[in-house]
Amino acid sequence: MLKITGYADRVSAMPGDAIRFMINCEYPHYQASVVRVVQGDTAPEAPPVKLVPVPSAIDGRHPGRPQVIHAGSFARIDGDIFAGSRSFSLQAMIMPTTPLKGRQAIISKWDETAGRGIAMVVADDGSVGIEISDGKTSKALSLGKPMLAKHWYFAAVTYDAASGEASVHQEPQHQFPTIDDSGSASAVLPADIAWENSAPLLFAASWGGEDAGRSVGRALYNGKIDRPRISNASLLLTDLQVLRGDRWPERLAGTLVGAWDFSRDIPGIRIDDVSGRERHGVIINMPTRGVTGHNFTGEDGLCWKNCPEQWSAIHFHDDDIYDAGWQADFALTIPEGMKSGIYAVRIEAEGEEQFVTFVVRPARGKPTSKLAFLFPLATYMAYANEHFGTNDGLVELHLNRALVLHPHQQFLNEHREYGHSLYDLHSDGSGVYYSSRLRPVLNLRPKVEANHGAGPSHLWLFNADTHITSWLENFDQDYDVITDEDLHQEGYGLLSGYRTVVTATHPEYYSKEMWDGVQRFTHSGGRLIYLGGNGFYWRIAYHATQPGIIEVRRAEGGSRAWEPPTGEYYHSFTGEYGGLWRRQGNRSPNHLVGVGFTAQGFDQSSPYRRAPGADDPRAAFIMEGVDDEILGDFGLTGGGAAGMELDRHDVSIGSPPHSLVVASSGHHTEAHVFVVEDMLFNFMGATGDVCDKVRADLVFFETPNGGAVFSVGSIAYSGSLPWNNFDNNISRLTLNVLRRFMDPTPFPMPNA
Amino acid sequence: MAREELDRLIQGRNLGELVTEFRAKTTGQHSPALQRLINRIRSEPMTGKLALLCTRPHEEWRLVQMNGRGKPMTLLDGVFHDLNDAEWAIFKLRMKRHFDIDLND
């Protein structure tokens, strides 16, 4: 099991920037060094691994120390809420998603260390309960009727300090004839229990104290909470019912000490108290906002911006994680003159090796090459710490081969606190909408293998992308590395100084700013080489104030790992509609790069065959010196250049009418299946062995002002570049494109 | 019952021939009957699923049984130095598990 993990506070840095590195190391010491990552594939069929040592100030021996992650989201309100009263009422609308998981705090002021406080909980028996403790004697009462998962309930508890009377109330929003889950219970507990304590008031957790500056939640709750209210008096059920709404009579206002409206500041991290007492708070570990509340109708619009009162809920998860919050172990200031490129800090101890990957980009507005490699950090974040191999057994039917797990996946399966990818489900079965890079991302490193990339290399994303960087360096092509997070922040300005931009193998996740930046580049004379498959596919959003976190809402359709419920199609970070770019006006991948996602399969790749477009004089430069009919019947990713995820040229979806199909693949394996977004009804004959839409098209077209786009439409493509020591028809063809694209001579638009 | 299911999957094909086909080529396009058969036996849920843990990159794989989300996997007997041998070992175990059929090398 891994004993070294780490992350950095930023992935992209320019000369003069400092990057802080946070390392968890269970060994007493480790060696740190910096390498420039050129080729990270360890397969014997690949060129030798090339990690170039770069002397730096952080080189040397460092003391190791364990650092842990406290996952689980909750909300925190500081200050004295109860004003000295030991009587109270706690209430909320709740939608528990794992009611039988064990004790979960819904509203608490409960210090776990002292065992003292008050809480409304989902009790061990799955029903609403109250807990009160003075630190010596703990009293608890629950209804004893388990709630149904994913159903809304009115939940309330009260305690009257004068009489000792306590009550619990649990009322389902919908009743079913065979389900007995409604009622109230009461008991007389000791009077005047001295439960007061210094813990903050929390929603969705109890207080586990602070650890190295981080708030730690215990008794973590899974599910939604809507309209929590607190009174410093024991209220009757009829009054509790009145407080469910958004307005209340003056007679209840005097004892109402907090009423929170989660529909305010949905894009932010604040929770607002609307009781007038100003007991505002913050969310910790990014629970999901912009989710439907108990009163969502579906008839008043589907966006939280239009009718926010129906989105006054937060969905908390016991495995949410935003910023691991580790202590920094060292910092690296990027020296002036450090070559732009992909780097990693290598941590070594007792035979174990770990990497923390980062990018050195050029100073703003000062490219050091005419070529940029666009590092797809957003997509790496989308896949960060994916659990494909350990969550769903049907993964083997995706792969059509045995499931091979790697040490980091074994670790992540057992260390769920490291958080999930946008492909995973939370522990309660809901889809993961957010992914952060402020935690160790164990699949963003050289030498790592993955489930989805086929043999012999078995690479996916970052490490597969080093086939591209090693290919560029093999031909002595200088290049800058820039990240798409930079592109999101700076837009077209980041690209404007480059003549050509090369993508990675799978640039799948794009914000509007990123998409617009690429399109403006290709329309301003820039040249784009899209060396991958299934790119520019999902729309994502970045948070306005919290760095290093992205959001996806897989609305409507598409090839997707989960489906958001109706009403959760709009990003909470921005209010933008989520889903496929092809459903967002004229923004399909085909519009941008001439091809769009059409099929996927992960067992074996296929070659391309020359297409009629190869004979067009406009494409002559592409095929110069390449006489073969069959292209790429070899490769490190499935033994062919076309495989894994494939894109199709299709004018009806937006491919420019003047785009040329230079080559197309075909005869894929049955495991390569046609995408669902192109299948209105499911039908037979949609697999690669019989369906001619299961193919990759290699496409070229000219863009305004002398620019051009070349797209390969296949994730496996770059795995063919290094084959036979970079001497093969795919490498030759791609080099032809690169050299012409680096030539400033404008591409003329073809005549009508 | 298991035999009926197997017959439905292979639809008159000779099982020995399908086994030989798999042993010769474990990955990629299979004949329809073999693909149906392996789709069926690969549909095991994550709890109890047979899989491989890579113990030396591109050199060594250990047979494991998955025990479900979040639970440690169980290391089983069986260390392989070729993924085709590992595929074959899993295939044999599943033919026993699902159809009570013993296959020999």
* Model confidence pLDDT, tens digit, residues A93-130: 999 999 999 999 999 999 999 999 999 999 999 999 99
Q: Which residues of B touch A42 (CB under 8 A)?
A: 57-58
- Give kind and range of the element (H or E) at residue A252: helix A250-253
- 8 Å CB contact between A654 and A596: yes
pLDDT of B98? 95
From start to end of A82-174, where are the E strands?
A: 88-96, 104-111, 116-122, 128-134, 138-142, 153-159, 165-172
Residue with tokens 């799948």: A508
- Phi/psi of residue A288, each to 5°? -85, 125
Measure the CA–CA gap between B40 and B94, rounded to whole angstroms.
Answer: 10
pLDDT digits (tens, 9 = 90+) for A368-399: 999 999 999 999 999 999 999 999 988 999 99
Q: Is A584 on the interface with B (CB under 8 A)?
A: no
Answer yes or no: do A402 and B52 touch at CB < 8 A. Answer: yes
Asked if residue A734 lies in contact with residue A531, where contact means CB atoms within 8 angstroms, the answer is: yes
> Mean per-residue pLDDT for A236-242?
98
Residue at B105 is within a domain: no
pLDDT computed for residue A660 by the predictor: 98
Where does the pLDDT of residue A752 fall: very low under 50, low under 70, confident under 90, or very high at 90 and above? Answer: confident
Cβ–Cβ gap B39/A404 under 8 Å: no
Task: Give the closest residue to A311 by CA, choosing from A298, A320, A325.
Answer: A298
B95 touches A: beta carbon within 8 Å: no
Give chain A's length.
752
Our separate counts of H helices and E strands in chain A read 13, 45
Give CA separation, A135 vs A79, A112, A118, A189, A196, in Å. Answer: 20, 10, 11, 15, 10
Which chain B residues touch A603 with a CB distance below 8 Å?
27-28
pLDDT at A714: 98
Q: Do residues A154 and A175 lie in contact, with contact meaning Cβ atoms separated by under 8 Å?
A: no
* Residue of A646, A612, A645, A619 whose CA lies nearest to A708: A619
Question: Residue B48 falls within a domain, yes or no?
Answer: yes
Percent pLDDT > 70 in chain A is 100
Instruction: Give the residue, A394 or B96, on which the prediction is more confident.
Output: B96
- Could you list the beta-strand ranges (E) of A309-351: 313-316, 330-333, 341-349
Using the Cβ of A49 and the Cβ atoms of chain B, whether some distance falls under 8 Å is answered with: no
CATH 2.60.40.10 fits A4-69+326-363, yes or no: yes
Using CA coordinates, name the residue in chain A closest to B42: A396
Question: Which DSSP string corresponds to A685-749?
Answer: S-BTTT-TTS--EEEEEEEGGGEEEEE--BSGGGGGTTHHHH-SHHHHHHHHHHHHHHS-SPPPP
Cis omega (within 30 of 0) for bond into A456: yes
Q: What band does A245 get if pLDDT is binned at 50, 70 and 90? A: very high
Report the distance separating Cα A47 and Cα A39, nearest Å.
Answer: 8
Chain A residue with minimum CA distance to B47: A393
Residues near A710 by beta carbon (within 8 Å), at least 6 away in sequence: A527, A528, A529, A530, A622, A699, A700, A737, A741
Q: Do A393 and B49 touch (CB under 8 A)?
A: yes
**pTM for this structure?**
0.98
Question: Which residues in chain A have their CB less than 8 angstroms from residue B27's CB?
Answer: 400-401, 454-455, 603-604
CA–CA distance, A199 with A76 (Å, rounded to integer): 10
The CA distance from A198 to the nearest CA of chain B, in Å, is 34
Q: Give the distance from residue A602's alpha carbon to the nearest chain B alpha carbon, in angstroms.
A: 9
Measured in whole angstroms, the distance separating CA A81 from the mean position of its chain's CA atoms is 36
Chain B positions touching A689 (Cβ under 8 A) are: 29
pLDDT score for A225: 99
User: What is the tens place of the pLDDT at every residue in B58-82?
Assistant: 999 999 999 999 999 999 999 999 9
Q: DSSP character for A308?
A: G
Mean pLDDT of chain A: 97
Residue B1 has pLDDT above 80, yes or no: no
* Mutate: best of A45, A355, A401, partner B, most B CBs <10 A: A401
pLDDT, one tens digit per residue, over A193-203 is: 999 999 999 99
**Cβ pair A140, A146 in contact under 8 A:** no
Can you tell me the distance from the alpha carbon of A539 to that of A489, in angstroms, rounded to the nearest whole number?
A: 16
Q: Does A669 touch chain B (CB under 8 A)?
A: yes
Q: Which of A143, A137, A108 is nearest to A124 (CA)?
A: A143
Q: Taking the C-alpha atoms of A108, A110, A113 and A116 in order, what is their torsion angle to the nearest 10 degrees?
A: -150
Total domains in the fold of chain B: 1
DSSP percent split of chain A into helix, strand, coil, nearest 5: 15, 35, 50
The residue type of A561 is A
CA distances from B62 to A398, B31, B78, B84 (A): 21, 28, 6, 13
Give the residue-averaged pLDDT of A608-615: 97
Chain A contact for B65, CB < 8 A? no
| pLDDT value of residue A553 | 98
Cα–Cα separations (whole angstroms), residue A676 to A87, A606, A682, A683, B58:
56, 21, 8, 10, 34
Alpha-carbon gap, residue B105 to B92, rounded angstroms: 9
Residue A282 neighbours by CB distance under 10 Å? 15
pLDDT at res. A480: 98
Is there a contact between A214 and A327 (Cβ–Cβ < 8 Å)?
Answer: no
Q: Which residues of B21-43 are buried (b: 16+ CB within 10 A; e: fewer)?
A: ebbeebbbbbeebbbbbbbbbbe
Question: Does pLDDT of A58 surpass 80?
Answer: yes
Per-residue model confidence (pLDDT) at position B2: 87
Residues of B in contact with A447 (CB under 8 A): 57
Mean pLDDT of A332-348: 97
Q: Contact at 8 Å (CB) between A283 and A269? A: yes
In a domain, residue B15? The reply is yes
Q: 3-state class of A593 per DSSP?
A: helix
Q: Which residues contact B102 (CB under 8 A, 6 or more apart)?
A: B95, B96
Instruction: Compute the nearest-CA separation of B18 from chain A (Å).
Output: 16
Instruction: Judge whether B40 lies within some domain.
Output: yes
- Cβ contacts of B44 within 8 Å, gap of 6 or more: A393, A396, B50, B94
Nearest to B46 among A391, A397, A402 (CB): A391
Residue percentage of chain A with pLDDT more than 90: 99
3-state helix, strand, coil in chain B (%, to 5): 45, 25, 30
Q: What is the largest CA-CA distance in chain B?
A: 41
Q: Which residue matches tokens 């609403």?
A: A128
CA distance A37 to A468: 11
Question: What confidence tier does B105 reach under pLDDT thresholds 50, 70, 90?
Answer: confident
| Model ipTM value | 0.98
pLDDT digits (tens, 9 = 90+) for B23-59: 999 999 999 999 999 999 999 999 999 999 999 999 9
* Fold annotation for A79-256: Jelly Rolls (2.60.120)
What band does B22 get if pLDDT is binned at 50, 70 and 90?
A: very high
What gap in Å lies between CA A113 and CA A261, rounded to an integer? 30
DSSP A9: S
A63 φ/ψ angles, rounded to the nearest 5 degrees = -70, 135
* Cα separation, A714 vs A729, whole angstroms: 16
Q: How confident is the model at residue A321 (pLDDT cuts 50, 70, 90)?
A: very high
Residue of chain A minimizing CA distance to B85: A402
Is pLDDT above 90 for A30? yes
pLDDT of residue A575: 98
Has residue B59 been placed in a domain?
A: yes
Q: Do B73 and A405 touch (CB under 8 A)?
A: yes
pLDDT tens string A558-585: 999 999 999 999 999 999 999 999 999 9
B6 touches chain A (CB under 8 A): no
User: What is d(CA A61, CA A56) in angstroms, rounded to the nearest whole number?
Assistant: 13
Please indicate whether, in this complex, the C-beta atoms of A393 and B29 are within 8 angstroms of each other.
no
- Which of B27, B37, B56 best tests the A interface by mutation, with the highest count of A CBs <10 A? B27
Q: Where are the domains of chain A?
A: 4-69+326-363, 79-256, 375-742
| Closest among A184, A152, A182, A180 to A168, alpha carbons compared | A184
Domain presence at residue B17: yes
Which residues form the domain of B21? 2-99
Asked if B75 is an interface residue toward chain A (Cβ–Cβ < 8 A), one would say no
